[in-house]
Amino acid sequence: MTAQVGIVGVAGRMGAELVKTVGTEGSAVLAAAVDRPGGSAIGKDSGTLVGRHANGIAVSPDLRAVVSGLDVVIDFSRAEAVATTADICAEAGVALMIGTTGLDADAQRRIDAAARRIPVLVSANTSLALNVLLELVRRAARALPDSYDIEIFEAHHRHKVDAPSGTALVLGQAAAEGRSIDLERAGLTGSTPGARAAGTIGFSVVRGGDVVGEHDVRFLGAGEQLRLSHIATDRAIFARGALAAALWLVGRPANRYQMADFLFEKQ
């Protein structure tokens, strides 16, 4: 079966990656493309918009007008748009993959409401390998004694404004879950003078050059270190992971899923 895929935020950086990725996936076809009402992309062919051949799917300002007949919608747009996407997909009975970040409490509540009617997967990082890393970090933190210090190192390009990265914080959360501790209390950002307090999860940040994204989780014990690393070199990984998860969602029961559900329960 070829899944009919809709993309919300199609004119953005991730939208462009998704259009290209869907074009190379034999089991999916782009059937709807949506972006912000009033934006310069509206009405344009979504294939030529991303520098590919015309695909006959014009960019629409209204998901409701194009949602009928879709199997799954992938949203990489803006946080303010996501609740409306969730409402529309729930009404139409169409599965939803959300990669958009920065969702507020209202969006979360409406996603939860939608997930009672349709399958929804929300992930702030859709890289497949990064999500495997999360599980490895959780397990390593659970298995190793608390005497092993945990340090999360991340490096990004010189233009990134937030630090530590959202992904570093999610890795810290996974380590804290593995140890059954609270990251709010155990998290340590910046260097503090004096000896390191036991049981802390530290964060180290480097900014420079054009680094797409590096994350390194270190478990530092007496006489040994375990290092688990992920290096991103191309943002297409996020589109590939999002599409794979979106196709996995099609036909699932209504629920709110995570990437781990897809990665570890798909077999």
Task: List contacts with ligand NAD (CB under 6 A).
Answer: 8-9, 11-15, 34-36, 39, 76-78, 81, 99-102, 123-126, 238
From 20, 44, 53, 156, active-site residue: 156
Between 77 and 149, CB nearer to ligand NAD: 77
No. of helices (H) and no. of strands (E), the chain: 10, 12
Between 77 and 173, CB nearer to ligand NAD: 77
Between 58 and 220, CB nearer to ligand NAD: 58
User: Using the 8-state DSSP alphabet, how is residue 93 labeled?
Assistant: T
Between 73 and 150, CB nearer to ligand NAD: 73
- Could you tell me the smallest distance in angstroms from the CB atom of residue 79 to ligand NAD? 6
- Could you tell me the smallest distance in angstroms from the CB atom of residue 162 to ligand NAD? 10
Between 21 and 126, CB nearer to ligand NAD: 126
From 20, 53, 159, 160, active-site residue: 160
Structure-block tokens of residue 243: 């599409």
Single-letter residue type at 190: G
Structure-block tokens of residue 40: 């310069």
In 139-161, which positions are buried (b, 16+ CB within 10 angstroms) versus exposed (e)? ebbeebeeebbbbbbbbbeeeee
- Could you tell me the smallest distance in angstroms from the CB atom of residue 43 to ligand NAD? 14
38 CB-contact burial (10 Å; exposed 0-12 / middle 13-18 / buried 19+) = exposed
Where is 180: in which H helix or E strand? none
Using Cβ positions, the residue closest to ligand NAD within the complex turns out to be 12
- Could you tell me the smallest distance in angstroms from the CB atom of residue 169 to ligand NAD? 14
Q: How far apart are CA 229 and CA 129, in angstroms?
A: 10
Structure-block tokens of residue 166: 């959202």
Catalytic residue flag (residue 160):
yes
Q: How far apart are CA 219 and CA 147, in angstroms?
A: 10
- Could you tell me the smallest distance in angstroms from the CB atom of residue 89 to ligand NAD? 13
Please list the active-site residues: 156, 160
